Structure formats: structure tokens, C-alpha cells
Structure 1
Amino acid sequence: MTEYAVVDPATGRTVREYPLISDEELDSVVGTADAAYRQWGRVTSAAERAAVVRRVSELHRERRDELAEIIVREMGKPLEQALGEVDFSADIYLYYADHAEEFLADEPISLADGSGSAFIRRSPVGVLLGIMPWNFPYYQVARFAGPNVVIGNSILLKHAPQCPESSAAIEQIFRDALAPEGVYTNIYASNDQAATLIADRRLQGVSLTGSERAGAAVAEIAGRNLKKVVLELGGSDPFIVLSADNLDEVVEGAVAARMDNNGQSCNAAKRFIVIDELYEQFEQKFVDRMRGITPTDPHKADAELGPLSSSAAASNIEDQLERAADQGAQVLTRGEPSGTFVSPAVLTDVTPSMDAFNEEFFGPVAQLYRVSSEEEAVELANATDFGLGSYVFTTDPEQAERVADQLEAGMVWINTVLGDAAELPFGGVKKSGFGRELGRLGAEEFVNKKMIRIAGTTPAGS
């Protein structure tokens, strides 16, 4: 049976199909990964592991054009954005290579009685499973694999079924970087096989980026089997505008934050909450700008919006828009869809009783809300089950921090968008998941923080 296939969303053409791994092959792969960990994580030094990961970074840069072309073909990402994703992935691997020894250094503990010494020693835990989504085929893998390979864990990577070519390319990069067999393995596994794998005693943890439904399913299986799990799920990020010196710049930031990756980003701005005195100007400028964006061939250098990732993704967005309109939302702009090419849409008058108020729109759809105060803006921003990212635009620094403190989100961006970096932790709260990736915190999830206490002479008079 074939589940994995490259289907070019721009043309609908099936480029290549890939067979599922057999149960016998999967069992062998797990055994190889477990054996690899026992050498890679327990014998090799952090510096040796860092050297391999540094070479992984270099190979991403050397194969930049080839890698970018693959994901344009797999999921329709505009070419310039695809190139940017490859670059960012290379940055992430390099970051963890550069900081490997620092992040794994012993951490001394100050003892109350002053007798002897104690410290925390960080060590790997074993074989990990990564279940990755299609929207950022390289970046999502880098932020999971980068820190964990440096730590000494071994990786089994189950990518999205529509990303088999990019997942194979990543595995080849690790091989060419001279990672030992079993340290990083791509598997074309079914969901049922993944469930069996999570229950395998040789597997020590799971990281999933995906939908709320997938996260709940994986967390349930992991919980039954007492496995550590990190989840990065959906988002309905608020973009709050309270004041502005240059509203045009704020609008450009809003459009960029909504349209990145064809609107298919978990931490994209999706709900635009604007103070009353700026609302009408913001609405006019924002709608005009969104209306002027036309879906086009993702290979074009100036492509701002390509196709959605699949016909199913396009159908889902159209269904959400139809239900929103039927339930009373006002549609300020919306183009006619053409296959997987979906024009930007902007909604207003969305109320809590509507599906649109509670759903995540994974595509080029924005919702506008008018508020009369900072307090109302915060209340509306938090009126969601999600809590991934958030954006605050204001000319008042004290207000910015005050609002940031009140937002129920894992990340807050103040007066900036698209500012992700390898050193900045990424993750959310509520139904957006738990755990962190990137930054130092990304190297703290799947690690044994082992306490070691060494006896000493008890001080005189104690």
C-alpha cells in the first residue's frame, strides 16, 4: 500500500509514490537506532557530535537550490520562501553545533551544608520519534533533530505523507555528514505503525508538530506507555494594534504575518484586533492590500501567494468561509478559487457563536475585530482555546509589556513580525501544545538531567 507521494499542488500531478515500510523493516530500524544511541550518546563526545551537525548545516547551504525546489514541488511554497526555509534550517543546525558543549556542560549545585559537591550532568535518553507536518518540511525537522542529535539521542523521523522527497533528502544529508547508521533514519510509516512504535520499549520520547487532533491521539498513546512527549499544535494568534506612528508599516507587518507560507503557518497572525480610533483606516488599508494579492506560480521570484498545499486544504478553507458567511460574518474580500489556488479573504463581524470564532483558518484568511480599550483587546485575544503566538503593536513601551504579561500565549512579538531565530524558544500553551523547541530550552526536553552528589568531609562544628 502507498501512502507517501509527491503531488504537485500547483498542477495536481503525482510526481512519485513511495511504499510504506514493512513491520519487519520498522522493527529492524528501531533496533539499529537503539544500538546507534548506545555508541553515539554514550561514547562519542559532544564535540564529535557537533562536528557532524555542523556538516549537516553546511550541506543544507551547499544544496540550497535543490532542497528549495523539492518543497515548492511538494507543498507549493513560494520559491523565495523555500530558499529562506533552507537557510533558517542551516542556521538552526549551526546554532546547536556551536553551543553543544555549553548546553551539555555540568551544572554545579551549591550545597547548603557545604559538604562535598554536587552537579547536574545532562545526558541523552535514547531513541526518539519525530512526527512532522508538511508546512515547513526542513525547518520543523531541524528544530527537533538539531538539538537531539547533538545531545546524543537517535532519531526516527516520520514526515507528512506529502513530503517523502524532502524527508529522504534530509536523511541523505545526515548520511553524507557521516552520521553513523541509525543516528537519523527517515521512515515511511503509517499512523498505525507509529502507534506501535510509540509503545515500543526501545523508544523513549515523541515530538509531534501538527493538528490538535493528531496531538491528542499521540499524547494518549504516549501517556499509556509513559513516554515523554512534546507537542506543537495549532494557533489562532492575535495581532493587536493599539497605537502606531506609521500605520502603513503596521499594515505591511500584518499582511506579512498572515500571508507567510501561503497563510499555512501555526503561528501566523490570524485575528487582527484593532483599537477603535485606528480601526477604519486599518481595515481599508489591510483589505486593499489583501485584495491586491493574487495566487500565482510559486516558482516566480515575486510570488507572494502560491497554491495551498493540497486540494483537501483548499476545500477545507472554502468550507470554512462558506459556513462563516452563512452564520452571519461579513466577507470584505474573497476571490474565486481555482483548484488549489485560493485568493485572500477578510472577515468581520465574527461572533463567539460562529464556528469561525473558534476555528483555526490554515490559509490566507484574516479576521478583523474592533475594540474600544486595551482591556477589551486582551480579553478578546485570550478568548480562544489556542495559545501559541501573539503580536502587539503600540508606541507605548509600558503598555507593550503590560499587554504581553496578560496574553495567554507561549510567544509575544512586540512591534515586529517574522522574527523567529534559532536562539528563540518556540512553543505554546492551552490547546497549542506543551514543551519548547529552539533556543537552549529546545535542548532541555529530551535529556536526562542526572544529579550526581559526591560525599565530602562535614565542616567542623556542624
Structure 2
Amino acid sequence: MATTISINPYSGKEIKSYNNHTKKEVEEIIDKADKRFYNWRETSFAQRKKLMLAAAFELKENKEEYAETMTLEMGKPISQALAEVEKCAWVCEYYAENAEEQLQNKIIKTDAHKSYVSYEPLGVVLAVMPWNYPFWQVFRFAAPALMAGNIGVLKHASNVFGSALNIEKVFKRAGFPEHCFTTLLVGSDAVAEIIENEKVKAVTLTGSGPAGSSVASIAGKNIKKTVLELGGNNALVVLRDCDMEKTIATCVQARFQNTGQSCIAGKRLIIDASISEEFVEKLVHKVRELKSGNPMSEETFVGTLAREDLAKDLEKQVNDSVEAGAKVVIGGNRLEAYFDPTVLTHVTEKMPAFKQETFGPVLSVTTFKNVNEAIALSNNSKFGLGVSIFTKDIEEAQKMAFQFDEGAVFINELVKSDPRLPFGGVKESGYGRELSINGIHEFVNKKTVYINK
């Protein structure tokens, strides 16, 4: 039997060893999930709401337990892990309160006596999820999917199997019927066969571009719905009339929270040349104040990366950019899985720090002379997840919002996900939307019903 060993990236010590599910066990889990679907879809919204609110309560009641596992498994600073669990409770509460209204039949006037669209669950939905937000990425799928009457089956990243099992535990402790939500302890090599299982009706993936392409290809061959939330190389576009102090604080938060391991992190600081020198000097001062160290310490803001190989990849991107002419103004050093909070200036469009997604605490700085150049720089990316614009001229920023090739435009704020707003990207950042009414409508059958007397 294959096993997976979980390693603490900060200490390098083994946390736990997990026995992977066999092919037979996976098939049995999916069979049981499929059988559960046919009575789960018959439950009322009131029943589902009660259970989902219980899940929210469980998350808040035992947040320390769940946060600690996250921190041990992938190095997330404990204060941020606690905040992640609390955000998961929020998304559970949001869909508990809003799902019934979001899935009401939509009456459409036609020449029929009555015609409408109903929103019905699809069945078993596979979620393939990453390690960087071990709880949030899963709950923003699970809460709407379960409230819609679907069943969730999770294939989580192999370094966060403890968190994956904890998520299953949340729903069990909340009182959800058995097999409503189940974790599969398998590697990436098992995903194709799971997607091909006729009882799996759809797939959602958050992860890398290659992983998304692979899943979409397999699902496409089997004519199954997919939602993909992939990488991002978000720009922080800073105009000369910004509120400098507030903008710097937001940019530091946008880039360095979760140790920079976020698809929606602001990775490219694109700034008006006339204010760049003063801005960068003050920004570096703020970066220097960030507390690094043991992720279990409440004072730590920047922890280790989730694995040493990720830190090595980041180191290469920085070194290659420096060789091409970028300047390190702070940081640039690696120690095993830890990478110093880093700011690079003189970054051009041809450098890895600009072209590639840097999945760690590295901020690249590129200057512009006019707004059109800023927009072009921001759009010069294969990704299109989100952009932040900083300016006191809100009206002008709104006018230019449509010129950015992104799934989201945030003005004077970092790009973030909110249960009330749709979340997703364009270009190689994926397709489909999570959260809000758009998210719950992704995994339902929009059925036309037409009635004549």
C-alpha cells in the first residue's frame, strides 16, 4: 500500500504518515457518495441550512485545532491560519443564509402558460485542491456545492492530508449525513481515473496551469463540466496621486501575506516613475519590519515556504532576474525552505520576476511614465486573475477598469475573495466563477420547464 509522509517545512520533521486509498477503496467511496446524492438532493433548504450553520459553528469552536494542522503541514503563520478558518465559517454562513434564494426557480415570460428555469444539483463533484490555503480553497467550493444538493469528493494536495481529513471531520461533527463530503487520500496520478468514473459528474480545480490543462482535457474527453482557478501574476498599479502611506501598507499585505504563496497576491508593483524612489524607500522600511520565524508564533508574519523545492525555484527566478539587470534592495537569500522577504527594482518585462508567477515573498518593481503604459504593463501577462489600482481619482480609475484584462479590478485595495462577489480569472488564470450566486450556479443543471394548458 502506498503511503504519504507529511513533513513540517519549518522543522523538517515528519508529522505523520498516511496510507493512501487503494483503487478499490476510491471506487467504493465514490459509489457511496453517489448513493448518498439521491436522498441528499431531496433534503430541504432548511435542513441544509441547519447543517451548514453547524459547520460554521464547528469551525469557529475548534479553529485552533484546524489552524495548528495547517501551520504544521505547510508553514502558514498561525495568526493567518486562524483567520483562514474563520473565513471558512463566513462562507458557510453566507450560503446557509442565501442558497435558497439563489436557487429559486426563475420565471421567464414566454408564450407558454408558464415557463421557468430550475436549478438542480448535478451529483458527485470532484474538487482537486492545492496546499496554499488548505481550508479556504475547499470551503469556497464545498459550501455552495452542498447547499445546492451536490456531493463533494476531495482530492487534496499530498502535503496537507491532515487538513483534508480535518475538513471531512468538520462536516461529520456538524451532523451532515455520511458520504456527503469525503476525502480521497491519493496522489495526482489517480485523478484521471477518478474524473473518468461515470458517477463523478463535474470537477473543480484550483492549482497550476499544467494541472488545470490536464484536468480540463480529461474532463473534456468525458464531457464533464469543469471550473478552473489557476495561477496569477497580479499587478499593483500605483498612480502618482495615491495615498502613499495607505498604498504601501496595502501593497505589503498583498504581496507578503501567506508568505507570498497566493495566486491573487500582488506580485508586480507597477509604479509611476515620478514617485517610485520615495515609494520604494518607504516600502522597504515596512518590509524590513515584517516578523519572520517559527510559524507557530503569533508574532510571525512571514514563515517558510511549504517545501524546500519551492524556495529553490523562487531563488532561481530571483537570481536569473538579477543576472538580467534587476537590483535586490532587500532580501534575496534562501535558507532551506525559508526565503527572505525580497524587493527587486529595475525589473523589465523580459525578466522572470515579471513574466513568471513568483510563488513566494518576492515583489518586483517596474516603473511607467503614463497611464497607458501602466495598463499595457499590467496586461502584459499570460494570467488575468486580478489587478489593484491605487489613486485618489476614483472616477478616473473606474473609467479605466474595463481596459484591464482581468477577472477582478480592485481600486485602493488588494485583490481578495469575498463570498458575496464572484471570483475567478481570464486567460491562463482559468475559467468559471466561485463564490456569490455565480459560484453556486456553476454546478447545477439549469433546467428549462415549459408548460401549456
Shorter-chain TM-score above 0.5: yes
Contact 2:152 2:182 in 1 (8 A): yes
The answer to whether the 8 A contact 1:158-1:187 is kept is yes
Aligned to 2:94: 95
Aligned to 1:26: 26
- For residue 436 of structure 1, report the CA deviation from its aligned partner: 0.6
Shift of 1:3: 5.1
Q: Which amino acid aligns with 2:96?
A: A
Q: For residues 167-186 of structure 1, what are the structure 2 equivalents within 5 Å? A: 167-186=164-183
Contact 1:410 1:428 in 2 (8 A): yes
Counterpart residue identity of residue 329, structure 1: A
Match of 1:407 among 385, 401, 404: 404
Secondary structure of the residue aligned to 2:428 is: helix
Q: Which whole-Å deviations, capped at 9, do the CAs of 1:94-119 have from their partners, x for residues lacking one? A: 111111211121110011x3x40111
State the match for 2:38 in structure 1. Answer: 38
Is the contact between residue 326 and residue 347 of structure 2 (CA under 8 Å) also seen in structure 1?
Answer: yes
Q: Per-residue deviation at 1:55?
A: 1.0
* 1:200 matches 2:197: yes
In 2, Cα distance between equivalents of 1:103 and 1:25: 36
> 2:8 matched to which residue of 1?
8
Cα distance in 1 for residues equivalent to 2:45 and 2:4: 35
* Structure 1 equivalent of residue 117 of structure 2: 120
1:368 paired with 2:365, answer yes
Could you say what the CA RMSD is over the residues aligned between the two structures, in angstroms?
1.4
Q: Partner of 2:147 in structure 1? A: 150
Kept in 1, the 8 Å contact 2:264–2:416? The answer is no
Match of 1:391 among 370, 388, 391: 388
Structure 1 unaligned blocks of 5 or more: 457-462
Q: Distance in 2 between the 1:3 and 1:235 partners?
A: 32
Q: Secondary structure at the match of 1:145?
A: helix
Most deviating of 239-248 and 254-263? 239-248
Query: What is the SS of the residue equivalent to 2:313?
Result: helix
CA contact (8 A) 2:385 2:425 kept: yes
Between the two proteins, the alignment pairs up a number of residues equal to 453
- The 8 Å contact of residues 47 and 100 in structure 1, kept in 2 or not, is answered as no
SS state at 1:208 partner: strand
Aligned partner letter, 2:177: P
Equivalent-residue separation in structure 1 for 2:448 and 2:250 (angstroms): 46
Q: Tell me the CA shift for residue 299 of structure 1.
A: 1.8
- SS class of match (2:348): coil
Asked whether 1:274 is paired with 2:271, we answer yes
Q: How many Å apart are 1:419 and its aligned residue?
A: 4.9
CA contact (8 A) 2:128 2:155 kept: yes
Instruction: Give 1:427 deviation, angstroms.
Output: 0.6
Q: Report the Cα offset of residue 269 of structure 1.
A: 0.2
**Residue deviations 1:107-145 (CA, integer Å, cap 9, x gap):** 10011x3x4011111110111100010000110111010
The 1-side partners of 2:304 and 2:242 are apart by: 35
Kindly indicate whether the alpha-carbon contact (under 8 Å) linking 1:149 and 1:155 is maintained by their aligned counterparts in 2.
Answer: yes
TM-score for both structures, normalised by structure 1: 0.95
Secondary structure, aligned partner of 2:334: coil
| Letter of the 1:63 counterpart | N
The alignment status of 1:254 with 2:251, answered yes or no, reads yes
Q: Which residue of 1 aligns with 2:313?
A: 316
Residue in 2 that maps onto 1:51:
50
The residue number in structure 1 matching 2:345 is 348
2:331 to 334, 337, 355: 334
After TM superposition, give the deviation of residue 330 of structure 1 in Å. 2.1
Residue 243 of structure 1: how far off its partner (Å):
3.4
* Cα distance in structure 2, aligned partners of 1:310 and 1:393: 33
Post-superposition CA distance 1:392-412 (Å, at most 9, x none): 011112211122111111011
CA distance in structure 1 between the aligned counterparts of 2:82 and 2:113, rounded to whole angstroms: 53
Greater mean deviation of Cα atoms: 24-33 or 244-253: 244-253
Q: Contact 2:37–2:123 (CA<8 Å) still a contact in 1?
A: yes
C-alpha deviation, 1:416, in angstroms: 1.5
Aligned sequence identity (%)? 38
Instruction: Letter of the 1:406 partner, please give it.
Output: Q
Equivalent position SS for 1:252: helix
Any conservation in 2 of the 1:294–1:343 contact (CA below 8 Å)?
Answer: no
d(CA) in 2 for partners of 1:226, 1:215: 16
Residues 336-379 of structure 1: per-residue CA shift (max 9 Å, x gap): 32221211111222233333332100000011011111111001
Partner Cα separation in structure 2 for residue 445 and residue 296 of structure 1: 40
CA shift for structure 1 position 289: 2.2
User: Do the aligned residues in 1 keep the contact of 2:329 with 2:345 (CA within 8 Å)?
Assistant: yes
CA contact (8 A) 1:135 1:265 kept: yes
Kindly indicate whether residue 287 of structure 2 is the aligned counterpart of residue 290 of structure 1: yes
- Structure 1 counterpart SS, 2:236: strand
1:82 aligns with 2:81: yes
Equivalent in the alignment of 1:61: 60
Q: Does 1:210 align with 2:212?
A: no
Question: Any conservation in 1 of the 2:242–2:392 contact (CA below 8 Å)?
Answer: yes
Separation in structure 2 between the aligned mates of residue 63 and residue 202 of structure 1, nearest angstrom? 33
Equivalent in the alignment of 1:263 = 260
In the TM superposition, what is the alpha-carbon distance from 1:335 to its structure 2 partner?
4.5
2:345–2:366 Cα contact (<8 Å) kept: yes
State whether residues 387 and 431 of structure 1, in contact with CA within 8 Å, keep that contact through their aligned partners in structure 2.
yes
Distance between the aligned counterparts of 1:446 and 1:5, measured in 2? Answer: 33
Change in Cα spacing, 1:321 to 1:3, as seen in structure 2 (3 Å) is farther
> Which 10-residue stretch deviates more, 316-325 or 429-438?
316-325
Structure 2 unpaired stretches of 5+: none
Tell me, yes or no, if the aligned pair for 1:271 and 1:369 is still in contact at 8 Å. Answer: yes
